[in-house]
Structure 1
Amino acid sequence: MAWRCKREWLMVLVVALSLHQAADGATKLPVNGLEYDFYGKNTKCGKAEKIVRETVEKAWKADRSVAPALLRLVYSDCFVRGCDASVLLDGERSEKTAPQNAGLRGFEIVDEIKQELETQCPGVVSCADVLHLAARDAVALAGGWNYPVFTGRRDGNISNAIAVDLPSPYISWNDALAYFDSHGLDVLDLGTLLGAHTMGVTHCRYVHDRIYNFNDTGLPDDQMDCRFARQLAQTCPYHLKPGQADPTVFLNPDSGSNYSFSSSYYTRVIDNRAVLGIDQQFITSKDGLRIADEFSHGFSDFQRYFAFSMSRMGSLGVLTGKKGEIRKNCRFTNARYPTRT
């Protein structure tokens, strides 16, 4: 499979790193200036990753939904201005106030991690790196791979809701591909990162049309298993009662409230039991079907490629060297007059 072979060199390197058996000089990956074990080799904060891991583990034991919450924060950050932690900044018109970012969670966990890091080694670890390390640790706790994270990001001081152009849950497969391509990512990245939907929830308003009126037909989406459509309808009524909040459904009912990281998402997609339309459209393309089929049968392959695609997404628009800043507080920039453009 050509789409697999072109990334084979990266698989070999990442596996080697995870086993701590890389040859001299192989612990650096040319991902926009990021580096493996940046804090251990270049700073006096070699315990940075340990601090992040311990804090995330404590949060995860109290609430397993932190895993999808942290993953969503990374996604919402990297596709807007790059992976610079701009989504964490507070402000009347900051990114977190955009409609597309409604319901973002996990800020308090990042705050707690950053507070401990500033106590142990002030002014060293960026909020941007905290986000990626925390997401990795949450995925590992949920059953994913404890993959290497390339670090060395610095924080941006610009955050503007107008810049948020994240795609709608109603996006078509072709439009989703075009969106990823515009950010330098490909079909394998899209198909793999959609696998994050193995955990988490979505509001009924995003699946209402699939259950009741797909493409204005007055009928359910004919790509959805009819029994599953009836199950969704039990949680998502046709009309909400006055004052009733929009219910939520699990993106992957097989994972449910356990929020476990598994390949069952791909099995559900193949069986026409995906919740979101974009997930079901996944297998309408030949590449998507091949990716879903391989990952549904090979959890280890899914784990590895998820690590690769997270690394590729995590290198988008990063600030390194002397660019950006290291925030003291992830919610506020150190700059006296931050620019909101």
Structure 2
Amino acid sequence: MGLLIAVVVILVMNGVADGLSMNYYLFTCPFAEMIIKNTVNKALQSDPTLAAGLLRMHFHDCFIEGCDGSVLIDSTKGNTAEKDSPANLSLRGYEIIDAAKEQLEKQCPGVVSCADILAMAARDAVFFAGGPVYDIPKGRKDGRRSKIEDTANLPPPSFNSSQLINMFGQHGFTVQEMVALSGAHTLGTARCSSFKSRLSNFDSKNDLDPSLDTQFARTLAKTCSAGDNAEQPFDSSRNAFDNDYFNALQRKAGVLFSDQTLFASVTTRGIVNGYAMNQAMFFFDFLRAMVKMGLLDVKEGSKGEVRNSCRMIN
């Protein structure tokens, strides 16, 4: 498996900017990887649900301003940051990033960026949840901008497959890569507020979203009876990284409209069926897409900084 990962990473990295490398911290902070891995492992042992939080946080970071740790910045009196956007209120695991950063600052102050910590933590979360093992190039710098209005560029749960294909395409992802990355929803939960529109007054013709299994609709309605913040797992193994998410889509039991649309649409249905049938193929495509995502608009050199605290710009 190690050789396979190495080949994948080399393939994906062919167009990588010069400043990033696999061994970026080899001499400046040799224990960086181990410190992050141990911090994530310890956190997930006491709360396995945090794997989904870390993976989602990395995605929400990279889609806005690139993978630059901008999602970690706290709001100030003069600026409402990304993390306070409604789209980011369900993100969890900031304390894991803080804990890793604190240890790294003791070991090698001012060396390891928050953007790299987040990218490595997401990778480790996938591994500890039973997903594929992969490595990522390091050397991202932290951005100096974090604004709530930028989060309008995150894909909302109401998007159909064409809209998702278009939005991911703007970031350079193929249709296959978009579906593979959507498989990150094999971990975690969605809040009722993000799927309740499927349960009543769906459109002018249907009260219930027709792409939703009626029995599963009852399950979702029961979840929503506890209020907008009530959570529904994306699939039956919410803390395990597997291909159950795609099996759920085949049963019309996707939680979000943006999940089920991948099976409802002819353009993406074949990919969903492929991943539902072949978990190894999903894992391979997912890790390849994750490495690629981790390289979105990376800031290098003077374009960014290494923050002293992940919650504020230096």
Q: Which residue of structure 1 aligns with residue 150 of structure 2? A: 163
- The 3 A distance-change label for structure 1 pair 231 and 267 is same
Deviations 1:77-106 (A, max 9, x none): 111111110111112311112222122211
The corresponding residue for 1:5 is none
1:40-69 C-alpha deviation (Å, 9 max, x unpaired): 2xx321211111000000000010111110
Matched-pair identity in %: 37
Residues 37-76 of structure 1: matches in 2 within 5 Å?
Answer: 37-40=23-26, 43-76=27-60
Separation in 2, partners of 1:236, 1:147:
37
- For residues 31 and 272 of structure 2, the distance between their equivalents in structure 1, rounded to whole angstroms, comes to 38
For residues 1-341 of structure 1, what are the structure 2 equivalents within 5 Å? 15-17=4-6, 29-33=14-18, 34-40=20-26, 43-92=27-76, 93-165=80-152, 166-217=154-205, 219-237=207-225, 246-252=229-235, 254-256=236-238, 259-334=239-314
Q: CA deviation at 1:233?
A: 1.9
Q: Contact conserved, 2:192 with 2:228, CA < 8 A, in 1?
A: no
- Deviation string 1:256-292 (CA, Å, 9 cap, x unpaired) is 3xx1101011011112111111111102334411211
The offset of 1:210, in angstroms, is 1.7
Q: Secondary structure at the match of 1:76?
A: helix
* TM-aligned CA deviation for residue 177 of structure 1: 1.2
Cα separation, 2, equivalents of 1:324 and 1:14: 33
Q: Distance in 2 between matches of 1:318 and 1:55?
A: 24
| One-letter amino acid matched to 2:120 | L
Deviation, structure 1 residue 138: 0.7
- Does structure 1 conserve the Cα–Cα contact (< 8 Å) formed by 2:43 and 2:50? yes
Secondary structure of residue in 2 paired with 1:54: helix
Q: Which amino acid in the other structure matches residue 95 of structure 1? A: E
Distance 2:49 2:169 in 1: 30
Partner AA of 1:81 in structure 2: E
Alignment CA distance shift 1:157-1:218 (3 Å): same
TM normalised by structure 1 equals 0.85
Q: Read off the aligned partner of 1:38 and give its amino acid letter.
A: Y
How much does 1:295 deviate?
1.0
String of CA shifts for 1:149-202, please: whole Å, max 9, x gaps: 111101111111122221221112111111111111121121011101111111
* Shift in alpha-carbon separation, 1:70–1:16, aligned structure 2, 3 A: closer
- With the length of structure 2 as denominator, give the TM-score of the two structures: 0.92
Partner SS, residue 142 of structure 2: coil
Contact 1:13/1:26 (<8 A) preserved? no
Aligned partner of residue 146 in structure 1, secondary structure: coil
Given that 1:14 and 1:148 are in contact with CA atoms closer than 8 Å, whether structure 2 keeps it comes out as no
- 2:232 counterpart SS class: strand
Q: Secondary structure at the match of 2:120?
A: helix
Larger Rg: 1
1:44–1:236 distance in 2 versus 1, CA, 3 Å: same
User: C-alpha offsets along residues 226-278 of structure 1, whole Å, 9 cap, x if unaligned?
Assistant: 111122222223xx6xxx563111111x113xx11010110111121111111
Paired residues in the alignment total 309
Shift in CA distance, 140/272, structure 1 to aligned 2, threshold 3 Å = same
Mapped to 2, the partners of 1:164 and 1:172 lie a distance apart of 19
Partner SS, residue 118 of structure 1: helix
Answer whether contact 2:193 2:228 (CA < 8 A) is retained.
Answer: no
Taking a change above 3 Å as real, the CA distance of residues 59 and 99 of structure 1, as seen in their structure-2 partners, is same
Structure 1 stretches of 5 or more lacking a match?
Answer: 1-11, 335-341
Given that 1:27 and 1:36 are in contact with CA atoms closer than 8 Å, whether structure 2 keeps it comes out as no
